[in-house]
Amino acid sequence: MKILVANIGSTSLKWRLFDFSATAATMLHKGGYERVADYAKAIDDCLGELKAAGHIRGEQDLAAVGFKTVVARGVSGCVRLNDSVLRAMEAYNAIAPAHNPPYITGIRLFAKRMPATPLIGLFETAFYQWAPEAAQRYAVPESWHEAGVRRWGFHGASHKFIAERSAELLGRQDVAERARRLYVDGGASPVTGAPLRVVSCHLGGSSSVSGILNGAAVGNSLGLSPQSGLPHNNRVGDLDSFAIPLVMRTLGLSLDEVERQLCKESGLKGISGVSNDIRDIQTAAAGGNARAKLALDVFVHASRHWIGGYLMELNGADALVFTAGIGENRPELRAAICERLDQLGIELDPVANEKTRATEGLISSARSKVKVLVIPTNEELVVARETRRLLERQ
């Protein structure tokens, strides 16, 4: 069974093609286009590449296309992307202005191009369905809560992958299996050993920290929207809600302009004034740029704040995991985040940390009670697996 997973950005289309046999998933092809001007053509070109590579004869060979959809009103989990789900996504465009509109446009174009192929979305909020109610609730009036103002949590596909893979690496097949089956049985699979506690740090263009107990999330630093929690590349991260009326009144900004600045001019770019890429910011900081240095310090501070929260929530941790662009590739930031944590049982091995880039590896010292791991994430595989499961259930 062949499943295409399409990753849609406002001007990019990236994909991975998976083939499922009875026992395993194989990635057959990966590719993508940046700076896409004509999305319909990009979809055609993608199918053309898959045909040219001999993986499909035509779209009839694709059992489904899976998407890592972000958020929708009243919808989570893994679902068929019919018109009512697309309208539910539209209803939350205001929460995810950088993510939902391009996804909706892209999915509609896929539907037009291949009307007979099931289009399936795994929502980024899905992993947090079983988080404790107290971790999902903002202290707002009931009517706001009912309107959807709650901590949804995001990066669900990535943190779910980390839940599965970290359990495997820690020799806990029972927890890995429980995590894999989570969307099927809501965590009914038994755990045979001690509770497994993992703090997962997805640090990249957008960043979040999740606490994971026995393969299921207890919470995520992203709340109502993918603009909260840690500062992101150009999106704000946590902010006191009263900042918005303050800048509207004192700087005379319109609500549209406030939204634009929170989504495009804030985060690491806003603080540093240099770039939204951590590599440029590190270069500038090394050259003495004080704002760039401050952006890195704020990022490290926020990471430690959220890691600390989940260490408390989980009563310690068996593993601390780094993943995504920054987590996998920036040893200096991992070192800064893990500095002075020996009393919490977290101690890096500087040599292992330095040499682990874009690969799986253990980077804690032999003394460290908490294992610190680098695990390259594989969100597309999680989407493909759940897509396949939904097809089989239906």
Residue 257 vs 332, nearer CB to ligand ADP: 332
Which distant-in-sequence residues (6+ apart) come within 8 Å of 275 by Cβ? 268, 269, 281, 284
Tell me the residue nearest to ligand ADP as measured from the CB: 325
Structural tokens at position 271: 């603080």
Residue 84 vs 359, nearer CB to ligand ADP: 359
Give me the least distance between CB of 72 and ligand ADP, in Å please.
Answer: 21
Give me the least distance between CB of 137 and ligand ADP, in Å please.
Answer: 27
Residue 162 vs 175, nearer CB to ligand ADP: 162
Give me the least distance between CB of 164 and ligand ADP, in Å please.
Answer: 19
Residue 118 vs 156, nearer CB to ligand ADP: 156
Residue 213 vs 326, nearer CB to ligand ADP: 326
Residue 87 vs 279, nearer CB to ligand ADP: 279
Give me the least distance between CB of 8 and ligand ADP, in Å please.
Answer: 12
Report the interface residues with ligand ADP, using CB under 6 A. 204-206, 277-279, 324-326, 329-330
Residue 121 vs 267, nearer CB to ligand ADP: 267
Residue 283 vs 365, nearer CB to ligand ADP: 283
Amino acid at 166: S
Task: Give the strand pairing for 64-67 and 2-8.
Answer: parallel
Give me the least distance between CB of 145 and ligand ADP, in Å please.
Answer: 29
Give me the least distance between CB of 299 and ligand ADP, in Å please.
Answer: 10
Give me the least distance between CB of 154 and ligand ADP, in Å please.
Answer: 11
Structural tokens at position 371: 């294992």
HEC string of the chain?
A: CEEEEEEECCCCEEEEEEEECCCCEEEEEEEEECCCCCHHHHHHHHHHHHHHCCCCCCHHHCCEEEECCCCECCECCEEECCHHHHHHHHCCCCCCCCCHHHHHHHHHHHHHHCCCCCEEEECCCHHHCCCCHHHHCCCCCHHHHHCCCCCCCCCHHHHHHHHHHHHHHCCCHHHHHHHHCHHHHCCCCCCCCCCCEEEEEECCCCCEEEEEECCEEEEECCCCCCCCCCCCCCCCCCCCCCHHHHHHHHCCCCHHHHHHHHHHCCHHHHHHCCCCCHHHHHHHHHCCCHHHHHHHHHHHHHHHHHHHHHHHHCCCCCEEEEEHHHHHHCHHHHHHHCCCCHHHCCCECHHHHHHCCCCCEECECCCCCCEEEECCCCHHHHHHHHHHHHHHHC
Residue 353 near residue 363 (C-beta atoms within 8 A): yes
Give me the least distance between CB of 324 and ligand ADP, in Å please.
Answer: 4
Residue 63 vs 302, nearer CB to ligand ADP: 302
Give me the least distance between CB of 326 and ligand ADP, in Å please.
Answer: 4
